[in-house]
Amino acid sequence: MPRALAELAQSDVAAVAAIEARQHLTPWGASSFEDALRCGWHTTVLRDEVNPGLPTVVGYFVAMSAGDDEELLTLTVAPEYEGRGYGRILLETLLLEATARGAKRLFLEVRQSNQRAIHLYETAGFKMTGMRKNYYVTPADSVSGRPAGRENALLMVRVLNALKESPA
């Protein structure tokens, strides 16, 4: 079994932070992943321990509970492994875990331009529930000539367990 899902470990932090830096315009640093471990947030890493020459970490996610709800904070697949279904496996894993924990809804925010992630979320049953205008910072990029700016966030939600009315 070449690939395995596990909770994020302190020994994964450097690899995960390196992937994060390559895959996000405003990446989490190692200290954010260490905070996630300290706070007991829900973390999962998918490791590949057999393919020589490829990174050990395939992808990962971090989510946190907020009352009856959960929020997906980061979901990332290493560039070498993109487009092979691992993003969907990680997302379905979180949906199963959050449902088993009794969460009612799973929320997330995504850059409006991130069509790849939006497609993944929509086909996993997420619905757009709002927009945060100019929410994300977009740093300038001297290589492409992209100027610094800001971008809207789409707020999406997936209902997991039916919301029940509390008895009066």
21, amino acid identity? A
Q: Please identify, among the stretches 40-48, 95-103, 111-119, 137-145, the one whose residues bind ligand COA according to the rule CB under 6 A.
A: 111-119
Burial (CB < 10 A; 0-12, 13-18, 19+), residue 152, is middle
If one asks whether residue 95 binds ligand COA (CB under 6 A), the answer comes out as no
Q: Give me the least distance between CB of 16 and ligand COA, in Å please.
A: 12
Residues 6+ apart with CB under 8 A from 138: 25, 146, 148, 149, 150, 151
Please identify which residue in 36, 45, 103, 120 interacts with ligand COA, judged by CB under 6 A. 120
Stretch that binds ligand COA, among 46-54, 98-106, 113-121, 160-168 (CB under 6 A): 113-121
From candidates 15, 18, 86, 151, binder to ligand COA by CB under 6 A: 86
Instruction: Specify the 3-state DSSP secondary structure of 98.
Output: helix
Confirm or reject binding of residue 75 to ligand COA (CB under 6 A): yes
Does position 112 interact with ligand COA (CB under 6 A)? The reply is no
DSSP 12: G
Neighbours of 9 (CB within 10 A): 12
Contact footprint for ligand COA (CB under 6 A) = 23-24, 75-77, 82-88, 110, 114-117, 119-120, 123
